[in-house]
Structures are given as C-alpha cells and as structure tokens.
C-alpha cells in the first residue's frame, strides 16, 4: 500500500467531514493528484478536493489522502499561527516542521517539539497521541517504541520529520513491515535502519570507543570516495577486529544510507 494511503486509512480520514471532497466518478475528465501524481485509479478512495496552487494561481485536484496534509483544522490540528486566545490560522499536518509521526495498526503517535506542542494541544478532537520529544531524542524514542511493538502492529509508517515539502514527503513515504528493518521517512529522504546492526554499533561504541571511531572514519571516508574498498589500512583494521568486520558486512550498500546511519548514531 502507498504510504499516504496508509496514513489516510489509519489516521487522517477523520478530517474528511471538514473537506470539500468531490467524487472522481462525477468527473467527465480523468483526474490525477497534483501532489502525488497518481491517477485516481490508484487512490485509496475516489475522492479529491480542488485547491488553489499558490504559485501558479490555478485550481488543481488533490486526492483526499494528500489533501489531509494541506487541510487546516482547529478541531483536529489546533492552531498554526496566533495564540490560544486569538488563533489566526488553523493547524495543518503538512506544516509540522521538526515533528515526527508513528502510525501503527492501533497506535497513532505524534512527536512534537516545544514550538508546536502547545498549539497542537489546542485541538479539541486530536488525531494523535502526543509526546513532546524532539531532536535526536525523538529518533531514539521512536526507534525504541517501534522495537517494543508486537508483530500485530505492522506494517506501520514512521516519519522522522514531517516538514513542509508535502509532495516530497509523500514521495518518500514507505511502510515498515517489521522491527528488523525500520524505514525512516521525511521530506528529505527515506532510509532503512537495520535494528540488529544498530544494536551491534551501540555495543561497539560502549565497549570499544576508539575502535568505533576508527571504523566510523573509514565508513565516512569510503562514502566520500577518499579511500577505495581495497584500502590496506581498512582491511588490516577489519582483520584485527571481528566486531568491526561484522558491522562492516551488515552496512547497507548505498553510501547515502551509510551516511544517514552515521547521523542517527
């Protein structure tokens, strides 16, 4: 299932009662979503809303699942601008820069930061359970929460940073099917975290700090093309450290994913 459809079916569809949704079956012309680019036959529901694009100043169709990112709602999403006493702009899910989201089969958790938390809590019918935790602590919280889930909670969707780039976010929404490999989504990227590999790295960090720092340097240098895969220094180090060798063999092939992993830990 597409990630944005999963989000709609498990959480954001409640906002449909406030949207001005149209049925594609009533349209004489084929309809494709301006945000995700999918034709209506691929949507989770045959519903869309006509929105004004602020750049081209024209009406464009946006499928209901994507539209939930654009929809402003005091009732469901609190306030975006103003104060609790004098709100001026309704909150929108697709504007929550620095906030994360975990949507599992029975759990919906929004990870807020101090700038958003109070405004989101102004919602009278909140869509999500809210926890104020941000930065690197938010990623730690999310990973620990996901790892603790039972198999019945999968697949799930984990967004590390909702951001503002709605179309980019939608393109990067990929489901996590088991705790063994967690997909971390944002408007900037999507990458995988192998939880066994993460545990091995953290163990090495605690038991052999200097060895980990050396391995980290080799990984960083190889990703940036500063050393070749057959570098003698690297091979000598791995030959002398079974822990480092096991970690190296488990690293993702994609250098971008390797670098993302280094940022996480």
Quote the domain boundaries for residue 147: 94-195
Q: How many domains does the chain have?
A: 3
Query: Is 7 inside any structural domain?
Result: yes
Same domain, yes or no: 190 and 219: no
Domain final residue, candidates 178, 195, 212: 195
Question: Radius of gyration of the chain from Cα atoms?
Answer: 21
Tokens 């654009």, located at residue: 70
Q: What is the pLDDT of residue 227?
A: 84
Which stretches of the chain drop beneath a pLDDT of 70?
A: none
Query: Is 138 inside any structural domain?
Result: yes
- The whole-model pTM stands at 0.90
User: Beta partners for 87?
Assistant: 82
Name the token pair of 145.
Answer: 């929460």
25: region left, alpha or beta (phi > 0 left; psi from -120 to 50 alpha): alpha
Burial class of residue 190 in the structure, from the number of CB atoms within 10 Å of its CB (0-12 exposed, 13-18 middle, 19+ buried): buried
Contact 125, 75 (CB under 8 A): yes
Query: Please, what is the end-to-end C-alpha distance for the chain in angstroms?
Result: 30
Name the token pair of 21.
Answer: 């949704």
């Amino acid at each position: 299932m597409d990630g944005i459809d999963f989000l709609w079916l498990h959480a954001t569809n409640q906002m449909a009662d406030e949207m001005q949704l149209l049925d594609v079956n009533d349209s004489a012309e084929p309809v494709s979503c301006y945000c995700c680019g999918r034709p209506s036959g691929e949507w989770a529901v045959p519903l869309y809303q006509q929105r004004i694009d602020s750049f081209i100043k024209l009406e464009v169709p946006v499928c209901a699942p994507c539209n939930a990112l654009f929809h402003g709602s005091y009732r469901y999403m609190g306030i975006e601008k103003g104060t609790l006493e004098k709100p001026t702009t309704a909150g929108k899910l697709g504007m929550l820069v620095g906030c994360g989201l975990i949507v599992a089969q029975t759990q919906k958790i929004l990870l807020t930061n101090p700038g958003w938390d109070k405004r989101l809590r102004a919602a009278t019918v909140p869509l999500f359970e809210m926890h104020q935790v941000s930065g690197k602590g938010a990623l730690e919280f999310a990973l620990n929460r996901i790892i603790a889930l039972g198999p019945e909670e999968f697949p799930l969707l984990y967004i590390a940073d909702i951001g503002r780039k709605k179309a980019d976010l939608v393109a990067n929404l990929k489901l996590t099917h088991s705790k063994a490999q967690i997909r971390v989504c944002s408007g900037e990227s999507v990458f995988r975290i192998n939880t066994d590999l993460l545990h091995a790295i953290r163990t090495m960090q605690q038991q052999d700090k200097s060895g980990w720092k050396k391995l980290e340097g080799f990984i960083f240098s190889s990703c940036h093309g500063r050393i070749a895969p057959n570098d003698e220094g690297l091979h000598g180090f791995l030959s002398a450290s079974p822990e480092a060798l096991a970690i190296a063999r488990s690293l993702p092939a994609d250098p971008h994913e390797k670098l993302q992993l280094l940022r996480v830990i």
